[in-house]
Each structure stands twice: as structure tokens, then as C-alpha cells.
Structure 1
Amino acid sequence: MTFVQLIDCKTSRFDELNQLMDRWVELTQGKRTATHDLVGRDRSDASHFVEIVEFPSYEEAMRNSNLPETDRIFQEMVALCDEMPTFTDLDVVRDEQLYAANVRRLFDVMATRGDLPPLDGLMAEDYHDHDPSNEQDNIGMDAIRREMEMWRGGFDFAFTVEDQISQGDTVCTRWTWRGTHKGDFMGIAPTGKQVMMTGTSIFRCREDGKIAEGWWQYDRLGLMAQLGALDALER
């Protein structure tokens, strides 16, 4: 279970404290178990700071605390604070990356059977799509719907999300796509073949969570080979 520690402190020497944290990062390279560190300043009190440190588990946090470098830096940290820092230990019981959740919904919606559902709740009206297999980028809701309908007309398919990383307004997804070739696709008559390909997509989201821009990389050449489109070239 992910574990988070909140360190609450007051200091008028934040620049020195910040340098101290940089030194801790350097000294614990290859030893520390912390995975994410965030520091926030209180808008109503410029001397009040809260540090949020994330660990894979409570046990890993204790390993990190027992490092001699951590203990030494902590003692120096206390000397820079106006009063003794306080600690709050939290087991994370819910961790929802909302931008990532919207991207997962988009993959599900693209694969929906029947009519393509509305996309305005997921994508910006001026969405910009970058796909190296297209001569021009698709820009706007109508253009991306036409692109999706081309794929949906050629295949019954589904995505499996293999990995997903979210940072700031950007979500990177590694996926596997599996489909049945049921209709014309790029001039290839339906073959009924079961096909698959892997790919990675990066999406940028707006402040409201709607997807504003996307970049696709996938094995389209491998897909065409599975459909037999390269056989004539190999003869």
C-alpha cells in the first residue's frame, strides 16, 4: 500500500532548506526509497511549508528514515526551522489520476460497438491529433471522428492498457490493440483475420480534463503485414 508522509514546518530560511533537500537527494542517490517529493508554501503564511513525500509502502518509508544520510539531513533541517516540524503518516486509500482516467475512457469509447458516442465530454472541440501515418494532422472534433470511424468501419477492436504514466497535464499510455478485420480498410477488403498491434500514445489535457492534443506511435506496418497487404511487395 502506498504510504505518504506530510512534514509540516515553519522557517524564514527556505532557500537554505531547499539547498539542504538538494543535498539529501544527492547523498541518498541509489539508496532512498522515496518515489515522489512535493513542497508547498502556505498562501496565507509565507513561512509555513508542507512537504509531501511518497513511498511504495510504510516499510520502505522506514528503510528511508533509517538511512544515516536521512538522519543527518533531518537534524540540519530542524536547525533551519523556527519550531519543531510535525509529521503525519498516511496510508493512501484512494489515488485517482483524473487525466489518466479520461484517457482510459477515450480508449474504451473508441472501441464501443454500434454508433460512436459523443466525444465532447472527453475531447476539446479544437483537438489536435498527430499521427505519422497520416499526411496531415487531424484538427477538430469532426476530423478525429472521421479518423475513428475509419478504424471502426474496418475492425471490431478493443484496447488493453498495459502501462500508463501521468505527469502534470500529460498522460502517456502503452497499449495493445486487438481486432477482427470486418470491413474495408485502406483499400483492403475484409479478411476476417484476427490481428493485433502495440503502440504508445501521449495526450495533453486541458485544465478541465478534456483531451486537447495527442501523439500516436504504433506498428501500422506490422498490422498491414498481418492483413496480407505486403505479400505482393515480397514476391
Structure 2
Amino acid sequence: MDGRNSVRIVENFWRQVWQAGNPDAVDKLVAEDFEITTGGVTIGSRDAFKSWVAAFLASIDDFEFHIVEMFSSASGDRVVTRWRVTGKNNGFMGFEADGAPIDMTGTAVFEVREDGLLQHNWVERNALEVERNMEKFRARAA
């Protein structure tokens, strides 16, 4: 195992970017050619990812990010996080902003470079269940 502490690196990313709601923190934490693969789509480059984070955060009011658990591979080059996001719909997934509650869980697998920068993030999330819950909320509100 090398000298990097990958769990701390990823924990710092979650804290500075998602928990603080600060897309600008991406500039110092991910590689220039960083990629995120989510929902079957790969978004490439630090700048594109930063824009994606800002749009995601803007789509959920009262945004909260919670780490459920996190661990690394023995080699230290991969970190897995189970996470939970809560808040209220402000245009999430293209829906009309209506304040519907959002409670989404997911898993992220990060590639951590030897220099401590994040190189890639593969994300799986329960977006279908979130959509169904938002539809139930709208039906009750109607």
C-alpha cells in the first residue's frame, strides 16, 4: 500500500464540495482531465464536472449530503462511498420545481491518483425511486 490516505482524500472532497455546497473546491481536488460516469453518461474535464456539480446543487433546495460508509481498496487507488442526499425539488432531473422531498441514496467509486488528486468517479444512484416518490408527493398535493 502506498502513502496516500485515500479515504481522507475522498472524505475531504465530500466535505469541501458537497457538504459545503462549494463547486469551486473542485479546482484543487480533482485532476484536470477528471471524469465522472453517472447514469450511463461520462462527463469529462474538471471544468465540465464543476459546472455539473453547480447545476446539481442548484436543483435541490435544503441540500444535505451524508456519508453512510466509506472504505478503500488494499492498494489505496479506489475508494467506495455509500451516501445519501436529502432536500427539496428545485428542478431535479428536469422536473418542475415544486418542493417535493428528495431522499436519494447511491454509491460512488473513486479512482485516487498517487498525488492525491481524484481521477475518476463512477456513480450509481436510486434516481428511479426518487422520481416515483416525487410523483406520489405531487399526487397527494393535487
TM-score by length of 1: 0.51
Cα distance in 1 between the residues matched to 2:23 and 2:35: 19
Structure with greater helix percent: 2
* 1:165 correspondence with 2:37: no
1:212 offset after TM fit, Å? 0.4
Q: Give unmatched runs, 5+ long, in structure 2.
A: none
Q: Give unmatched runs, 5+ long, in structure 1.
A: 1-37, 39-96
Q: Which residue of 2 aligns with 1:179?
A: 87
Match of 1:202 among 106, 109, 113: 109
Give the AA of the match of 1:177. Answer: V
1:129 offset after TM fit, Å? 1.1
Match of 1:191 among 85, 98, 110: 98
Cα distance in 2 between the residues matched to 1:105 and 1:127: 17
Runs of 4+ in 1 over 3 A off after TM superposition: none
Do the aligned residues in 1 keep the contact of 2:24 with 2:50 (CA within 8 Å)?
Answer: no
* Alignment coverage as a number of residue pairs: 134
Cα-to-partner distance string for 1:32-78 (whole Å, 9 max, x where unaligned): xxxxxx9xxxxxxxxxxxxxxxxxxxxxxxxxxxxxxxxxxxxxxxx
Q: Which residue of 1 aligns with 2:23?
A: 116
**How many percent identity over aligned positions?**
27
Do the aligned residues in 1 keep the contact of 2:110 with 2:122 (CA within 8 Å)?
Answer: yes
Higher RCO, 1 or 2 (CA under 8 Å, sep at least 6)?
2
Q: Which residue of 1 aligns with 2:123?
A: 216
Which one has the largest radius of gyration?
A: 1
